[in-house]
Amino acid sequence: MDRIRIRGGKPLSGSIPIGGAKNATLPLMAAGLLSDGPLVLENAPDLADIATMRALLVQHGMKVEHDKAQRRLVLSGAADNLEAPYDLVRKMRASVLVMGPLLARFGEARVSLPGGCAIGTRPVDLHIKGLEQMGAVFDLEGGYMHAKAPATGAGHFLRGAKIIFPQVSVGATENLLMAAALAEGTTELVNAAREPEIGDLAMCLMRMGARIEGIGTDRLVIEGVKQLGAATHPIIPDRIEAGTYACAAAITGGTLLLEGARMVDLGAVVRTMRECGVDVAEETEGLRITRKGGLRGADVMTEPFPGFATDMQAQFMALMCVAEGASMITETIFENRFMHVPELTRMGARIKYHGQSAIVRGVPKLSGAPVMATDLRASVSLVLAGLAAQGETIVNRVYHLDRGYEAIERKLSAVGAAIERV
């Protein structure tokens, strides 16, 4: 199995191109189920999760072409198999996003329950409750959610509803937004998630002919239409990939231009990095991250957007391991997202955690070690620690990284890191 070998201690310098956002592309691909297309997605990243979503849609009966050279995905055709099998759903939880589109367009879906994952239990009750409010009836059998929605007689299956989320959920907002686009009448999503990926999905649905108001706010109002059509949509840049490479510049005391990255998507992360003594400047081509002086510790609490992203928590913790003073990191989104702590500790970090909070006491140097992690962002936090550590770090289980970071070793070695896949 592939591993990543890093010899740390080199300040990075140069430019890194930021790809299209994984977490925008996955729901956008699911939206392809809502019409015969073609839906053309530009700036598509080449990631394991994209291949998984492609396999899922293909087994549903759709045609999905991924032109990697042109960074383009073209989705067309109509689903003729309404089942999302366990083998694919367990690989990637975002598979559950086919539920809303399948129900809205065909009145039926059978989707495996995803189960828990390394970072938490991650139930899908909010997705189910919302779709039930829109008229779907759910049955649980053999680990599958089997949902049916009777035809309304007006060319729709689902009916618009006012859905008040008791808790902010990115996936539930996306699933219901897609379902509402083809439902009869008006749907109101209250306490909706406001992540940039949701705005991107809404923009794409509008290009396909959907009627949506309130984009960028926590109240989305969708006027259902009978049919959606073809569209071409450019995927937004990956703010988490950008934030991760910003940490790479900061932890090595270097300077990187993150081509295509946008300040507007990274607000809380940028504010915190500045608090730590890192310079962040918006330039025409992207964001420039520079660290000249020492790193100072800072406290963060993860929150739904526009708060500090949970998907940046592990990377920021790696940075705080070598910052001056103590930093308190509180994870409020997922109940088990400190799996990187024991591995960072093996590299010499001083971290203690209890429940939702961790205290990191900065040390002058980390030391390289063989490490492994159980999820995507935890794995990349070990790469970051390895870039700053003395000696050699081997990161095992690279398949986690390949879910969300395209060519990470090539992007980092091009800016001066001693990193290779072995």
Ligand X SMILES: CC(=O)N[C@H]1[C@@H](OP(=O)(O)OP(=O)(O)OC[C@H]2O[C@@H](n3ccc(=O)[nH]c3=O)[C@H](O)[C@@H]2O)O[C@H](CO)[C@@H](O)[C@@H]1O
Ligand Y SMILES: C=C(OP(=O)(O)O)C(=O)O
Question: Pick from 43, 95, 169, 252: which binds ligand X (CB under 6 A)?
Answer: 169
Q: Segment contacting ligand X (CB under 6 A): 51-59, 164-172, 183-191, 283-291?
A: 164-172
* Residue 256 near residue 417, CB atoms below 8 Å: no
66 membership: H or E segment, kind and range: strand 63-67
Judged by beta carbon distances under 5 to 8 A according to partner kind, the member of ligand Y, ligand X, none in contact with residue 123 is ligand X
Query: Which CB atom, from 170 or from 351, has the smaller least distance to ligand Y?
Result: 170
Say how far apart CA 43 and CA 50 lie, in whole Å.
12
Q: What are phi and psi of 79, to 5 degrees?
A: -70, 140
Q: What is the Cα Rg of the chain in Å?
A: 21
Q: Does 397 bind ligand Y (CB under 6 A)?
A: no
Judged by beta carbon distances under 5 to 8 A according to partner kind, the member of ligand Y, ligand X, none in contact with residue 105 is none
Q: Residue 213: how many CA atoms within 13 Å on its side-chain side?
A: 5
Q: Does 376 bind ligand Y (CB under 6 A)?
A: yes
Interface with ligand X in residues 334-363 (CB under 6 A): 334
Q: Does 339 bind ligand Y (CB under 6 A)?
A: no
Residue 111 Cα to chain centre, angstroms: 21
Interaxial angle between packed helices 196-207 and 22-31, expressed in degrees from 0 to 180 and rounded to the nearest 10: 30
For residue 6, the SS3 value is strand
Q: Does 244 bind ligand X (CB under 6 A)?
A: no
| Shortest spacing between CB 126 and ligand X, in angstroms | 3
Catalytic annotation on 117?
yes
Which tokens sit at 10?
């080199």
In sequence order, which residues have a C-beta less than 8 Å from that of residue 16 and are 6 or more positions away? 245, 256, 257, 258, 259, 411, 412, 414, 415
Say how far apart CA 26 and CA 389 lie, in whole Å.
34
| Shortest spacing between CB 241 and ligand X, in angstroms | 12
Query: Which CB atom, from 93 or from 262, has the smaller least distance to ligand Y?
Result: 93
Q: Does 122 bind ligand X (CB under 6 A)?
A: yes
Q: Does 126 bind ligand X (CB under 6 A)?
A: yes
Q: Segment contacting ligand X (CB under 6 A): 162-170, 210-218, 285-293, 365-373?
A: 162-170
Say how far apart CA 171 and CA 122 lie, in whole Å.
11
Question: Pick from 91, 105, 110, 127: which binds ligand X (CB under 6 A)?
Answer: 127
Q: Does 362 bind ligand Y (CB under 6 A)?
A: no
Q: Which residues bind ligand X (CB under 6 A)?
A: 23, 26, 93-94, 120, 122-127, 167, 169-172, 193, 310-311, 333-334
Residues that bind ligand Y (CB under 6 A): 23, 92-94, 311, 376-377, 404
| Residues of the binding site for UDP-N-acetyl-alpha-D-glucosamine | 93, 122-126, 311, 333
